[in-house]
A and B are shown apart, each in its own frame.
Chain A
């Protein structure tokens, strides 16, 4: 075995290791995620009927672990407030949260699938989200932070459509203030159209910001229409990604992807996925997401490499 002995090989190796580490985190395609969530939500809401409600069994999770899991659904540098809640249930579960603690800005909810099915999540009887579990065992689920409700006692319900097995971890959180867009990014967005040079300039500012924070942006193809890149989990956890992305690139990136969305690599992979199933892909991106959902195809499975 040849252990790198020169600085170039050592740096190349470090970059490769970091690049492959980022495989655990999908490359950024923000509008794909948003549209998928919307599609899932609509599909779940449409299913309608609810199974009989049964109180969930409280599970004696370690509070620290439960807090950590719930916080993983929140933005970097969010702070947990109060004790976490943990639930493991087959079928519907109801959790009495009590009042919103002082300083809490939201409720972080992390879910994990255990058995197939769909769960609608309501806060004080108002639908806030849904998640679906396929039949491939534990691993699915999701997470999000929902705005803190008003005064008074609060009830969180996981309403199972079909005796879905799941775990959930919940905690009140105080999230940091969102970073402001830089003056350059505001200027680039001012006329409502993003040009290629503006897109590249914003991306380069993002890379520079990340580099200044000590993080590497990997696998850049500067010739691609939609720049595809990866960053490490550490960069996300530290908040550097959010700060750099929001302040330098997010608005421009979103506008550019919207202008060119159907030619992105991700969209192409989803299209190919549909074709393999004998389905002619629709033209607008949002329709592709709907087609995948209707066909029962997990979009993430379409994006798996190797």
Chain B
């Protein structure tokens, strides 16, 4: 059994999402172009964020900060396979890793946003609590490659492009992350809704 191979039909990254044609104008002051990028990806960034933090309200802050970081770091955003989504997912992972520091930077902005309606429990909606907790136990570097390559279904090459590291680095990090996850998860959860077993 290969428990950590991705079930791409569930969490695959949408390639050819058309972000390139919107990202360039967004950088030159076309806000609506970035609005379209937001529309395309906010759902997936939210699902991803809810896997990373336990409180739904914190996940909402991660979502907001992630998109604001796209503005602050716009010179460094990487568009991979015509999509900004991988960069957003990595950023959300980093933001969730240090929510306090990230929130402090955007404190006044977050305070200006309306409070979200009560959200469904993230565990029941998006995956097992044990799988989420196991993910949280990983180092940031390992968690990031797991998110990109296993949860979101990017190839190692694509993940390497997003993270600006050699493909071999992604491969070795992924291998070690899998080892650690195997040690933390019991088999029944491995085939749960978060990590699906690949069809043989």
Contacts and interface: CB of A to CB of B under 8 A. Distances in A.
Contacts of A13: 35, 38-39, 42
B29 A2 contact: no
A9 B42 contact: yes
A220 B27 contact: no
Interface in A1-42: 1-4, 6-9, 11-13, 15-25
Given A16-B34, A16-B67, A16-B71, A23 B116 contact: no
A223 B30 contact: no
A2 B68 contact: no
A21 B34 CA distance: 9
A4 B67 CA distance: 14
21 contacts: A2-B39, A4-B38, A6-B116, A8-B115, A11-B114, A12-B67, A13-B39, A16-B35, A19-B71, A20-B31, A20-B33, A20-B71, A21-B29, A23-B74, A218-B71, A219-B71, A219-B72, A220-B108, A220-B109, A223-B104, A305-B75
Given A305-B74, A306-B27, 11 more contacts: A1-B36, A1-B39, A4-B38, A4-B39, A12-B38, A15-B113, A17-B34, A20-B26, A20-B35, A23-B26, A23-B31
Counting chain B residues whose Cβ lies within 8 A of the other chain, the interface size class is 35 or more
Given A16-B35, A305-B74, A23 B114 contact: no
Interface string A273-306: 0000000000000000000000000000000011
A274 B25 CA distance: 27
B42 A305 contact: no
Nearest to B119: A6
Nearest to B117: A6
Nearest to B39: A1
Interface of B: 24, 26-36, 38-43, 60, 63-64, 67-68, 71-72, 74-75, 77, 104-109, 112-117
B72 A18 contact: no
A219 to B, nearest CB: 6
- Which 4 A-B residue pairings sit nearest by Cβ, starting from the closest? A24-B29, A17-B31, A21-B31, A20-B31
A16 B75 contact: no
B113 to A, nearest CB: 5
A204 to B, nearest CB: 9
Interface string A190-232: 0000000000000000010000000000111111000000000
A202 to B, nearest CB: 15
A221 B69 CA distance: 11
Interface in A38-70: none
A222 B108 contact: yes
Q: Which of A20, A21, A22, A222 has the most CB of B within 10 A?
A: A20
A3 B36 CA distance: 9
B78 to A, nearest CB: 11
Contact of A25 (B29, B30, B33, B39): B29
Contacts of A20: 26-27, 29-31, 33-35, 71
A18 B74 contact: no
Contacts of B109: 15, 220
A96 B71 CA distance: 47
Contacts of A25: 29
B31 to A, nearest CB: 4
Contacts of B26: 20, 23
A21 B38 CA distance: 14
Nearest to A221: B105
A305 B29 CA distance: 11
A8 B31 contact: no
Contacts of A22: 29, 31
B183 to A, nearest CB: 36
A220 B109 CA distance: 8
B32 A17 contact: yes
